[in-house]
Structure 1
Amino acid sequence: MTVVLKKPQKSARKPKGDGHLRRGEILEAAEKIFIAEGYSGATIRKIADAVGVSSTALYMHFRDKDQILMEISNDAIERLLALNTQIAAQPVDPVARVRLMLEAYMTFALDNPNTYQLVFCSTGEHISQDKISDLLSLGDRCFEKFSEPVHQIAAQGRLRSGSAVEAAEVLWAGCHGLVSLLITKPSRGWSSSEGLMKVMLDGLLHGLVSD
């Protein structure tokens, strides 16, 4: 599920132009270096070398590695918020809506393991408080959108245990735990991710929600 990363190789210098493509290359390279060497071990020089540009050229796109990390994080959470918003608009039972949202969340994690580790498995302590406030607000919006159908289930009197907030937190925590292990412990010899996701959702939803 995850990529075993070696020391980034220095790429050949690339021609000028294609700025929109270059920005995406920088973000992709930075993700890999952040995971391989940690945030403190990653430097603008290493990221620039991996992309094949000079540090000066990289600074034309990003002022520092904080901005790179914030853009990676914002993009990931915005994508999840868009998925939740799309699913929330579907005319289905709230239990089915919760399941679809959690399936989309876990699929996103497994399809984007480096991004997921960086955004959802790190402490965020290296990001200054003034910069992280907008990110936390976006994350709260994403969780609130996911929580809406859980509150609907609670309003119908179908929760077996706990409050709507507690149920939403447990549902998210269970799925987060599963995908985190699949990503960070790939040598464990897990069963298929599809099967594990189904069992996780069956267990959580049947345990928390009455028919």
Structure 2
Amino acid sequence: MTSAAEPAAKPRGRNPRGQGERLREEIVSAALTLLEELGDDEALSMRAVARATGTAATSVYLHFSDRDALVLAALERCHGDLVRTVDAVGGEAGDPVAGLRARALVLGTWAYEHPGLYKVLHESTLGRRAEMPFKSQVGDRMTAAVRECMRAGLVPEDDAAQVALDLRAAVHGAVSMRLNQPDHAWPPLEEQIERFLVKLVGVPAS
């Protein structure tokens, strides 16, 4: 029972048209910011996301049933942004090999710009208990880029999907080692990626 000095709170009304979706996007943005800072999906709390958006935790749960659902939505958005960036640099390159090189370099440098998100996207426990079908987009595009180089006669004919997988594995390994051992005297990432292209794809050595 409330006193005269403490009137009962009015129930929250229905969001005006469009505001519910806007709040959902704000929640995803807040989750991305926190995941970048934490580098660990299990350290994220729905209450922290609610505080960051200036809303109640119940409002967050109206859009996402649990933390995994929110993290997956956040990762899908950031992965979509990465795919668009990869496509843009690949399309701006002058030839298929230059496009493949640009794509591989973006995959590597993105991790330095977003180390926390990289860890959640590729090294979190969530990936072992939840499917992330959107992650196949980068692999599909890399395979297409390798196949284009082969069709143009710029690299030896081979299984494009396997070659692209080897290239992505090498780039991810190089990035992961740098993030987890930052004090090591690593060679420039661009030079190492160039060696991957020569040895794994068959790009002519410059």
TM-score by structure 2 length? Answer: 0.72
Q: Is 2:32 the counterpart of 1:27?
A: yes
Instruction: Call closer, same or farther: CA 1:96–1:34 in 2, change over 3 Å.
Output: closer
Partner of 1:83, secondary structure, is helix
Q: Is 2:154 the counterpart of 1:152?
A: no
Q: 1:109 aligns with which of 108, 111, 133?
A: 111
User: How many residues are aligned here?
Assistant: 181
Match of 1:177 in 2: 173
Q: Is the 8 A contact 1:30 1:47 kept in 2?
A: no
> Where do 1:16-95 residues align within 5 Å?
19=23, 21=26, 23-33=28-38, 35=40, 39=42, 42-45=44-47, 47-48=49-50, 54-90=56-92, 92-95=94-97
Match of 2:190 in 1: 198
Describe the superposition over 1:120-161 as per-residue Cα deviations: whole angstroms up to 9, x where unpaired: 22351232xxxx3xx31x222322122222112222444458
Alpha-carbon distance, 1:88 to partner = 3.6
Partner of 2:188, secondary structure, is helix
Alpha-carbon distance, 1:173 to partner = 0.9
What amino acid is the match of 1:189? Answer: H
**Identity rate of aligned residues, in percent?**
20
Alpha-carbon distance, 1:64 to partner = 1.6
Q: Is 2:128 the counterpart of 1:125?
A: yes
What amino acid is the match of 1:178? Answer: A
Q: Is 2:100 the counterpart of 1:98?
A: yes
Partner of 1:59, secondary structure, is helix
Q: What is the RMSD of the two structures over their aligned residues, measured on CA atoms? A: 3.0
Q: Is the 8 A contact 2:155 2:203 kept in 1?
A: yes
Q: For the residues of structure 1 that align with 2:45 and 2:26, how far apart are their CA atoms? A: 21
Describe the superposition over 1:173-209 as per-residue Cα deviations: whole angstroms up to 9, x where unpaired: 11111111122222x3334xxx521221221122232
- Which residues of structure 1 form unaligned runs of 5+? 1-16
- Structure with the greater relative contact order (CA < 8 A, sep ≥ 6): 1 or 2? 1
Larger Rg computed on CA atoms:
2
> Where do 1:138-149 residues align within 5 Å?
138-149=134-145
Q: 2:184 aligns with which of 181, 185, 189?
A: 189
What amino acid is the match of 2:160? Answer: A
Alpha-carbon distance, 1:100 to partner = 0.5
Q: For the residues of structure 2 that align with 1:42 and 1:91, how far apart are their CA atoms? A: 39
- Which residues of structure 2 form unaligned runs of 5+? 1-18
